[in-house]
Amino acid sequence: MLLKAKSLGMELSAGGVSFALLSGRGTPTLEAGLTLPFAPGTLAPSRRDPNVADRQAFVTRVKEAHLRLLSRERSVAVSLPDALGRVVLLDLETRFKNREEGLEIIRWKLKKTLPFDVSSVQLDYQTLAEQENGAISLLVGLISRQVVGQYEELLTEAGLEPKFIDFTSFNLYRLFAPRLELSDNGAFVSFYGGTMTVLIFHGGVLSFYRSKEAGSDPQQLYREVNSSLLVYGDRHPGQTVDEAFCLTDGSDPEAFRALVAEACGLEPVLLDPQRVVTPSAGVERGALRNLAGALGAALRRV
């Protein structure tokens, strides 16, 4: 986590907009952070259609939030809800020569399995692992061009420069990556912004991803975690989860930790943004959990 200069991250959801301004080396310092709600009806998340119904209200609110930061930083990394796109773990038998060839092969491969026109989405990928026989494992993210294009347009209209756009779950992971990457066979379970996400790693490589909007009912959350682990076991027989980590923006983190423990049969580590980010004077330490998506986005520029 080495920040060369101040770095601005933001998180967008139906509930509102959050900003986090980081600086410093080693353990970053949160210079400023805040969340402002959107008026009802401003933003309606959708995978297929533009999300912002009231464009002027959206732009005005984002401008207001940015002005309250008292920062001239306009280049921003953005977290969007996972529900706006799709994430696919893809195995290919052979490597490709360059990125363009890779994108073409991935589109051709996914064209057979996804129930929509792959040419209508913006696609990006990351290589997770390479085998000696040439096979590769990829993490692929897809989002409608209409959806992401509207966000880029309106953020620019609000005076910002969106440089990186990622799904919130991966920015949450980025926030705690130094700790999570020490675990070879671990599960990262988050309930954040009304979304339950389970990431499972084997040999340090992401092997399972599941993200689903969920209510706050403990029994429903328990079932989501438990069923994810059962599905993982069915897909990868013989692979074990040796460690578990959890994160929530809820009011009772310990209760969530106990829920995850019951679901996975392990004693999970409760991750806390206060251990990886230092708030400056005037920033409430308790507010960090609600800024986790924006904090992780800010680290996207490291």
Structure tokens at 225: 């975690």
* pLDDT above 70 coverage of the chain, percent: 97
Whether 128 is covered by a domain: the verdict is: yes
Statement to judge: residues 71 and 193 lie in one domain: no
Mean pLDDT of 76-100: 93
Closest CA to 147 of 69, 64, 47: 47
Q: Residues 197-247: pLDDT tens digits? A: 999 999 999 999 999 999 989 999 999 999 999 999 999 999 999 999 999
CATH number at residue 61: 3.30.420.40
Statement to judge: residues 14 and 154 lie in one domain: yes
Statement to judge: residues 25 and 129 lie in one domain: no
Whether 188 is covered by a domain: the verdict is: yes
Statement to judge: residues 153 and 47 lie in one domain: yes
Domain count, the chain: 3
Statement to judge: residues 29 and 153 lie in one domain: yes
Mean pLDDT, the chain, whole residue set: 93
Statement to judge: residues 25 and 159 lie in one domain: yes
Distance (Å, whole) CA 219 – CA 193: 18
**pLDDT at res. 285:** 66
Closest CA to 301 of 191, 161, 149: 161
Q: Residues 254-299: pLDDT tens digits? A: 999 999 999 999 999 999 999 999 988 777 766 789 999 999 999 9
* Distances, alpha carbon 14 to alpha carbons 45, 61, 220, 251, in Å: 7, 13, 22, 20
Mean pLDDT of 190-197: 97
Statement to judge: residues 162 and 22 lie in one domain: yes
Q: Which residue has the higher pLDDT, 76 or 279?
A: 76
Q: Residues 107-124: pLDDT tens digits? A: 988 887 776 788 889 999
Structure tokens at 21: 């301004």
Whether 95 is covered by a domain: the verdict is: yes
Q: Residues 9-42: pLDDT tens digits? A: 999 999 999 999 999 877 899 999 999 999 999 9
Whether 37 is covered by a domain: the verdict is: yes
Whether 66 is covered by a domain: the verdict is: yes
- Which amino acid, 87? V
Contacts of 113 (CB under 8 A, 6+ apart): none
Mean pLDDT of 92-96: 87
Statement to judge: residues 240 and 287 lie in one domain: no
Could you list the residue range(s) of the whole structural domain that residue 67 is in?
Answer: 7-82+146-172+275-301
For the chain, counts of helices (H) and of strands (E)? 8, 14
pLDDT band at 302 (very low <50, low <70, confident <90, very high): very low
Structure tokens at 161: 């420069």
Which of the residue ranges 89-93, 131-135, 171-175, 259-263 would you say has the lowest mean pLDDT? 131-135
Q: Is the pTM of this model over 0.85?
A: yes
Helix (H, G, I), strand (E, B) or coil at 246: strand
Whether 1 is covered by a domain: the verdict is: no
Q: Residues 122-169: pLDDT tens digits? A: 999 999 999 888 899 999 999 999 999 999 999 999 999 999 999 999
pLDDT band at 4 (very low <50, low <70, confident <90, very high): low
Structure tokens at 85: 């796109």
pLDDT band at 170 (very low <50, low <70, confident <90, very high): very high
At residue 43's C-alpha, the angle toward residues 141 and 73, to 5°, is 70
**pLDDT at res. 5:** 75
